[in-house]
Each structure stands twice: as C-alpha cells, then as structure tokens.
Amino acid sequence: MPKKYYRYFLKAKEAKYFLSEVSETFGADIEQFLASKTRVEVNETETAKIFIINGTALLARTEGFLFPTLTFEEFFPLMPRLVVDMGAIPYVCKGADVMAPGVVSINGEFKENDILLITDERHGKPLAVGVALFSSEAMKSVNRGKTVKTLHYVGDKLWNHLKGS
C-alpha cells in the first residue's frame, strides 16, 4: 500500500515562527528573498518535510536538519561551500558523504554541524547540501575520512520530487 503524503499550509503565526527559525539557523534574514505576504506550505514526504514558500520549494528538514534545497539558488551566495574535485562528483551525486581527499577548497567560515553547499571545481555547480562534521578551521587540517554528511544531492528522492512537482 503506498504511503500517504500530507500537504498543508502553516497558519500565519506558525509561518512567522518558522521564518524566524530559518533566519536564526542560517544567520541571514530569509524574508529578504520573499514577498511581503508569505505563505508557507508543508509537504511531508517519506524522505523529508518540504517547505514550499510562496509556491516554490525552498527548504527541507530531514534527520533533524533544516536546509535549503538545491532549487533555492538565490540563497547559495550566502552559504559556506566546499569545492570537490572532479573524481568526487560521481560519488557525491550518488549520496556519498564528502571525504577529505576530494576537497579542493573551503569557501567561507562555518562551525561543526553547519549546513554547507557542495560544488564541483570545474563549473561551480551545486551538487549537494550537507552538514559539516568539522569547523572550517579544523577541516583545513583533516587529510582523511569524512568531512561532510550529505543530506540532499542531485538525483536523490527529494531532488526528483522537487523536479517532478
């Protein structure tokens, strides 16, 4: 039997609380990207809770982490990013966590458990969104092992859900 998905709008007070949580989480005023009257719709799927703001799926929550989806391109310039080499791309695009040897550069400052954008070195295209396992300073000295836990990547169920809707 197929799993049921729920879709509903947040009440104005809940939406305001949610947007303040987003601004606090990312250290940026999310409302600068939105129209004055904001409607927040929630789509609960098997993989994540997707937050559709003014008709566009901008944010998601999974595994306790709130993060911008790969369709929220306006937010990318505000995010710290990890650039990976071309050899890491096939693995990241299949959901693998980012390993230290594949990291080419670290752009921006971040703390452990902050949300990062993972991009490729050649074109700078966003490949994934993940959570940092180290701070930016500590990550510069890591030579092996995982550096980022991948939450959302190009081609995952969330990506396909967003592209299909």
Average pLDDT of span 28-41? 77
Domain range summary for the chain, segments of one domain joined by +:
6-73, 75-159
| pLDDT tens column, 38-69 | 889 999 988 889 999 888 889 999 989 999 99
Around Cβ 90, how many Cβ atoms within 10 Å? 9
d(CA 42, CA 66): 13
pLDDT of residue 1: 40
Place of tokens 């295209």: 125
> Do 6-73 and 75-159 fold alike per CATH?
no
pLDDT digits (tens, 9 = 90+) for 68-107: 999 989 889 889 999 999 999 999 999 999 999 999 999 9
pLDDT for position 23: 87
Mean pLDDT of 27-40: 76
SS3 content of the chain, % helix, strand, coil (to 5): 25, 35, 40
Q: Please state which CATH number belongs to domain 6-73.
A: 3.10.450.120
| pLDDT, average across residues 152-165 | 84
DSSP 11: P
What are the structure tokens assigned to 70, written together?
A: 């790969």
Q: Does domain 75-159 have CATH number 3.40.30.10?
A: no
Torsions phi, psi for 100 (to 5 deg): -55, -45
Average pLDDT over residues 14-39: 82
The yes-or-no verdict on residue 148 having pLDDT over 90 is yes
> Given strand 115-120, what is the order of strands in its sheet?
98-99, 146-153, 126-132, 115-120, 81-84, 103-107
The span from the CA of 138 to the CA of 81, in Å, is 15
Sheet holding 40-44, edge to edge: 6-9, 40-44, 49-53, 56-62, 65-68
